[in-house]
Structure 1
Amino acid sequence: MEQSVQIITVSTRDLDAARKFYVSGLGWEPLLDVPGEILFFQVAPGVALGLFDAVKFAEDLNTTGVTGPAGLTLSHNLPGPDAVDRCLDAAAEAGATILKPGQKAAFGGYHGHFRDPIGLIWEIAHNSGWSVDADGRVRIGLVEP
């Protein structure tokens, strides 16, 4: 199998809350919105995030008892600490719960965390050692801000 991910799909018990938070609250534009079933957003070149109604998600997997996200964090890297704080503030205003306000991170950057209304945890970070080459290759370094 090729080392590649094009779609990250997360089960949610409240697709309407997800839509309200991401579309109305944060201003994200859906790639596809099927009410009562699934909502897709492009989150990077060639990468989409799908938020799938939990019942439909379980049906699609031909199983039962599938719950929402656990032990999963999506990260969003920004150009500086001020941008991190502004993003955390915008998320809180849109309905997120701040789990960790912006602060110096153990990895040498600056970060904070929020939980969206469906339980998905986001890390909002600045790491000056993070970069993406012209060919899309990610570089991660541990560098002070």
Structure 2
Amino acid sequence: MEQRAHFITLSTPDLDAARAFYRDGLGWRPLLDVPGEIVFFQVAPGTVLGLFDADKFVADMEGTPADGRLGGLTLSHNVDSPDAVDATVRRMVEAGARTVKSPQRAAFGGYHGHVADPNGLVWEICHNPAWRVDADGRVHLGLVDDA
């Protein structure tokens, strides 16, 4: 199996709030939007984020409502500067997010903050000066052996 994920699909208890937050609040354009079921956003080359109504998610998994809860997950979004971290966190809060961790210096030497969308999905907004992506898509985390 290739070391690649094409879709990140998350169960969301309030699809309408999620849609409004990402589409209307943040200005993201849906790739596909099926009201009452799921909305897809392309978030990177070849990568799609799907926000799936929790009840439909559970039914799709043939599980119980407890199986559809989101837990232990954070999505990260890297930006070009500490000012961009502040601006992005501010925009997300204005769009309906809740601040989890105010922007601040990070242990790894960068700058970051955490916000939760209207359904509790936590985003880390981060500036890491050592992080980069090559033209071919290879990620470098800025480690000594990361040549």
Which bracket does the TM-score occupy, shorter chain normalised?
Answer: over 0.9
Runs of 4+ aligned residues of structure 1 deviating over 6 Å after TM superposition are none
1:1-145 counterparts in 2 under 5 A?
Answer: 1-65=1-65, 66-141=67-142
Question: Could you tell me how far 1:142 is from its partner in structure 2?
Answer: 5.8
What is the aligned length? 143
Gap change, CA 1:142 and 1:127, over 3 Å in 2: farther
Question: Could you tell me how far 1:67 is from its partner in structure 2?
Answer: 2.9
3-state SS of 1:129 partner: coil
Q: Please tell me the residue identity of whatever aligns with 1:35.
A: P
Unpaired runs of 5+ residues, structure 2, are: none
Question: Could you tell me how far 1:106 is from its partner in structure 2?
Answer: 0.6
More divergent stretch after superposition (104-113 vs 56-65): 56-65
Q: Please tell me the residue identity of whatever aligns with 1:52.
A: F
3-state SS of 2:31 partner: strand
3-state SS of 1:30 partner: coil
Q: Please tell me the residue identity of whatever aligns with 2:56.
A: K
Cα distance in 2 for partners of 1:10, 1:4 equals: 17
Cα distance in 2 for partners of 1:67, 1:46 equals: 25
More divergent stretch after superposition (62-71 vs 109-118): 62-71
3-state SS of 2:20 partner: helix
3-state SS of 2:59 partner: helix
**Do the aligned partners of 1:78 and 1:124 also contact (CA within 8 Å) in 2?**
yes
Q: Please tell me the residue identity of whatever aligns with 1:11.
A: S
Unpaired runs of 5+ residues, structure 1, are: none
Cα distance in 1 for partners of 2:87, 2:95 equals: 12
3-state SS of 1:20 partner: helix
Q: Please tell me the residue identity of whatever aligns with 2:21.
A: F
3-state SS of 1:42 partner: strand
- Give TM-score scaled by structure 2 length: 0.94
Q: Please tell me the residue identity of whatever aligns with 1:32.
A: L
- Give TM-score scaled by structure 1 length: 0.95
